[in-house]
Amino acid sequence: MAATIVIFGASGDLTSRKLIPALYQLYRKGRLSSTLNIVGVSRTKFTHAEWREELARSTEKFVGESFNSENWEQFAERIYYQPGDIGQPDDFTSLSKFLDELEGGETCTRVYYLSTAPRFYQPAIEQLGQAGMSCESNGPRRVVIEKPFGTDLKSARELNRVTHEVFAEQQVYRIDHYLGKETVQNLLVLRFGNTIFEPIWNRNYIDHVQITVAEEVDVGSRAGYYDSAGVVRDMVQNHLLQLLMVAAMEAPVRYEADSIRNEKVKVLHAIRPLETEQIRDYTFRGQYRGYTSSKGVEPTSRTPTFAALKLWIDNWRWQGVPFYLRSGKAMSCRTTQIVIQFHCPPHNLFENSPTSLGESNRLVIQVQPAEGIQLHFQTKVPDAGMKMRQTDLNFNYQKEFRGAIPEAYERLLLDALEGDASLFARADEVEAAWKVCDPILEAWTARDKPTLFMYDPGFWGPDECREWMLAQGREWFDTCPLLG
Ligand SMILES: NC(=O)C1=CN([C@@H]2O[C@H](COP(=O)(O)OP(=O)(O)OC[C@H]3O[C@@H](n4cnc5c(N)ncnc54)[C@H](OP(=O)(O)O)[C@@H]3O)[C@@H](O)[C@H]2O)C=CC1
Ligand SMILES: O=C1O[C@H](COP(=O)(O)O)[C@@H](O)[C@H](O)[C@H]1O
């Protein structure tokens, strides 16, 4: 079936940096229908040709060597631009007419991608409804909504309510680009496509799980947005909780959107709610030195750029196993990793048997940038009695498959066009994620809020966070992945 993707926020950063490069890569790989049209909408007065020229420049910059100008010219023939303001109903009438003419009245899949500031999600959805553009009489109609989906539980519920007045839930694709990352999907394969991991993936063998999303970059040019959001809204509510769900969920019955999302949301429901008096013991907030000098940030800002949480999942599998989540900007290196830390052996047979967690088995899932998996285990040192040493088995995606790892947006855009919502968040899922985060956000802004610890850029967050872990007999896995 023919398809049209309509991008609201056409002149914006996400469109030029991620969406169009991803669509171009899909085209280059022959994965897009030859009848796909791409229509950009924003207020800037581009002609079709001007927008194509802009995109040629940005796409060349962002896809690097894989850019081919001949190929681009063919791809660009299907790119159109329609100026429009989300606040103007007439602009939706004109857009609807333009799309109908472009599609020639044929049955056609339409995907509306909301890549604008979050305050425009609700009006854009309402306008699409008023213009009759969600009606599926001439083919499927879907809406992709970028993150953040709300700023707390109340606003997320309201956005869901408004969305559901116009689109049925199966038409709604709430994006979290971490779910489009190859290694996150590989975690599903690791867990449910093998027999050896599932029997040990529980409280009997696992001491704790660490999920780290460390960024080397600071807030950069997004300081204005970031200062009102902070790390919990920007990273924890979405990306970190998604990683936690995939690591902790039960096996879905089928690889199909609702089976997967049913299991994921059960994990969120099982997270023990943090009582106000526990927030001080179970959460940790930090800010990198120099943050308040960034352009767009209040000099007195107390916005956290670093967070660490200790969460418990109250179910049969995970009882007694803490999940540590940590994320921060301006840290030592860029790394997203999930560490499954196994218990020490129950009996010390050898002279230097592992007696600390740091020496016992550990499975490290490197989500990015050195995509891969490492298993740390003990081996005998040759010719040295029964002395042992920690070593690892190392699977590296790039070495194994010798191809570039596709951008998350490639997979997600293709899935949205094909109607597969498995890697998108469902309404109840985003609300349940806010239910986990709201008490933290409230306690962190209350009068007697916990200390905001400072850290130097280029480190693993505040020293006090390391000490907090050590006091629990555990250590953060502070290792930058080896690249190349
Ligand atoms: N950039 C990124 O890396 C990421 C972004 N996101 C999310 O994606 C969304 C877009 O982000 P980003 O591209 O960075 O934002 P930008 O500020 O770069 O772009 C916003 C876009 O919205 C358009 N716009 C603004 N007002 C209107 C209006 N009244 N009617 C129609 N269009 C309008 C702007 O164009 P014009 O002024 O021409 O109208 C522009 O194209 C945000 O929700 C963000 O949170 C999520 C993850 C990463
Ligand atoms: O959604 C966001 O994600 C990016 C990090 O994404 P990654 O794919 O580069 O890991 C983060 O920098 C940004 O603040 C946040 O809004």
Write the CATH number for 43. 3.40.50.720
Question: Dihedral sign, CA of 70, 75, 78, 79?
Answer: negative
Domain annotation covers residue 24: yes
Ligand 2 atom closest to the CA of 408, numbered from 1: 8
Same domain, 105 and 214: no
- According to the annotation, is 165 in a ligand binding site? no
Which has the closest alpha carbon to 270: 331, 238, 200, 318? 318
Q: Domain holding 289: CATH number?
A: 3.30.360.10
483 within some domain = no
d(CA 286, CA 475): 18
Ligand nearest to the CA of 6: 1
Which one-letter DSSP state was computed for residue 152?
S
**Full domain range(s) for residue 93:** 2-146
- Characterize the bridge pairing of strands 172-174 and 206-214: unpaired
How many Cα atoms within 13 Å fall on the side-chain side of residue 242? 25
Residues 228 and 295 in one domain: yes
Residue 418 CA: distances (Å) to CA of 1, 52, 140, 173, 424? 10, 25, 10, 12, 13
Residue 357: the pLDDT is 85
From CA 290, how far away is CA 476, in angstroms rounded? 24
Cα distance between residue 216 and residue 457, in whole Å: 8
CA angle centred on 476, ends 472 and 478, rounded to 5°: 160
Q: Choose the final residue of a domain: 128, 146, 164.
A: 146
Does any domain span residue 165?
no
Q: Whose CA is nearest to atom 13 of ligand 2?
A: 234
Pull the structure tokens for residue 62: 């962002």
- The ligand 2 atom at the shortest distance from the C-alpha of residue 334 is 10
DSSP structure string for 383-422: TBTB-EEEEEEEEEHHHHH-SPPPPHHHHHHHHHHHT--T
385: left (phi over 0), alpha (psi -120 to 50) or beta: left
Q: Is 13 annotated as a binding residue?
A: no
* In a shared domain, residues 328 and 452: yes
In this prediction, residue 160 carries a pLDDT of 98
- Asked whether residue 259 falls in the same domain as residue 374, the answer is yes
Question: Hey, which of 6, 7, 14 would you mutate to test ligand 1's pocket, going by the most ligand atoms within 8 Å of its Cβ?
Answer: 14
Task: Spell out the residues 6+ positions from residue 210 whose beta carbon is closer than 8 angstroms to its own.
Answer: 324, 326, 337, 338, 339, 341, 476, 477
Asked whether residue 310 is marked as a ligand-binding residue, the answer is: no
The last residue of a domain, from among 127, 146, 165: 146
Ligand nearest the Cα of residue 223 is 2
Distances in Å between the alpha carbon of 96 and those of 12, 39, 109, 358?
22, 11, 14, 60
- How many domains does the chain contain in total? 2
Q: Rounded distance, CA 474 to CA 322, Å?
A: 11
Measured by CA distance, the residue closest to atom 12 of ligand 2 is 215
On whether residue 326 sits in a domain, the answer given is yes
In a domain, 416, yes or no: no
Does residue 326 sit in the same domain as residue 195? yes
Are 141 and 212 members of one domain? no
Instruction: Kindly state whether residue 248 falls inside one of the protein's structural domains.
Output: yes
Check: complex ipTM more than 0.95: yes
Which of the listed residues 130, 146, 162 is the one where a domain comes to its end? 146
Q: What's the token pair of residue 244? A: 């936690």
In this predicted structure, what is the pLDDT of residue 272? 97
* Within-domain flag for 112: yes
Determine the pLDDT at residue 83.
Answer: 98
Question: Quick one: DSSP state of residue 298?
Answer: -
CA 291/CA 310 separation, integer angstroms: 25
Atom nearest to 213 CA in ligand 2:
10
Asked whether residue 147 is marked as a ligand-binding residue, the answer is: yes
**In one letter, which amino acid is 151?**
T
Task: Identify whether residues 191 and 94 lie together within a single domain.
Answer: no
Burial 394-417 (b: 16+ CB within 10 A, else e): eebbeeeeeeeebbbbbbbbbbbb
Ligand 1, atom 2: nearest CA belongs to which residue?
Answer: 14
Distance (Å) of CA 267 to CA 191, 260, 270, 438: 16, 11, 5, 17
Residue 272 near residue 311 (C-beta atoms within 8 A): yes
Beta strands in 192-334 (DSSP E): 206-214, 283-288, 306-312, 322-328
Determine the pLDDT at residue 484. 63
Give residue 348 CA to ligand 2 midpoint distance, Å: 44
324 and 254 housed in the same domain: yes
What is the position in ligand 1's atom list of the atom closest to the CA of 175?
46
Check whether 373 is labelled as a binding-site residue. no
Q: Which letter does DSSP use for residue 311 in this model?
A: E
Q: Do 341 and 430 reside in the same domain of the chain?
A: yes
Does residue 39 lie in a domain region? yes
Q: Using H for helix, E for strand and C for coil, what is the string for 333-383?
A: CCEEEEEEEECCCCCCCCCCCCCCHHHCCEEEEEEECCCEEEEEEEEECCC
Alpha-carbon span 106 to 451, nearest angstrom: 60
Same domain, 322 and 443: yes
- Which of 81, 71, 57, 58 minimizes the C-alpha distance to 25? 71
What does R_g of the chain's alpha carbons equal in angstroms? Answer: 24
Say whether both 327 and 386 belong to one domain: yes
pLDDT by residue for the chain (484 residues), tens digit each? 899 999 999 999 999 999 999 999 999 999 998 899 999 999 999 999 999 999 999 999 999 999 999 999 999 999 999 999 999 999 999 999 999 999 999 999 999 999 999 999 999 999 999 999 999 999 999 999 999 999 999 999 999 999 999 999 999 999 999 999 999 999 999 999 999 999 999 999 999 999 999 999 999 988 989 999 999 999 999 999 999 999 999 999 999 999 999 999 999 999 999 988 899 999 999 999 999 999 999 999 999 999 999 999 999 999 999 999 999 999 999 999 999 999 998 888 887 777 788 889 999 999 999 999 999 999 999 999 888 999 999 999 888 887 778 999 999 999 999 999 999 999 999 999 999 999 999 999 999 899 999 999 999 999 999 999 999 999 999 999 877 6
pLDDT of residue 193: 96
Q: How far is the centre of ligand 1, averaged over its atoms, from the C-alpha of 300 (Å)?
A: 27
Q: What are phi and psi of 151, to 5 degrees?
A: -120, -5
Closest-lying ligand to the alpha carbon of 18?
Answer: 1
Describe the strand order of the beta sheet including 362-368 as a list of residue ranges.
Answer: 388-396, 372-380, 362-368, 335-342, 206-214, 322-328, 306-312, 283-288, 452-455
Whole-number Å distance between alpha carbons of 12 and 14: 6
Please tell me the distance from the alpha carbon of residue 180 to that of residue 185, in angstroms, as a whole number.
7
Q: Residue 151: is it exposed, middle or buried by C-beta count within 10 angstroms (0-12/13-18/19+)?
A: middle
Q: Are residues 112 and 199 in the same domain?
A: no
C-beta 215 within 6 A of ligand 2: yes
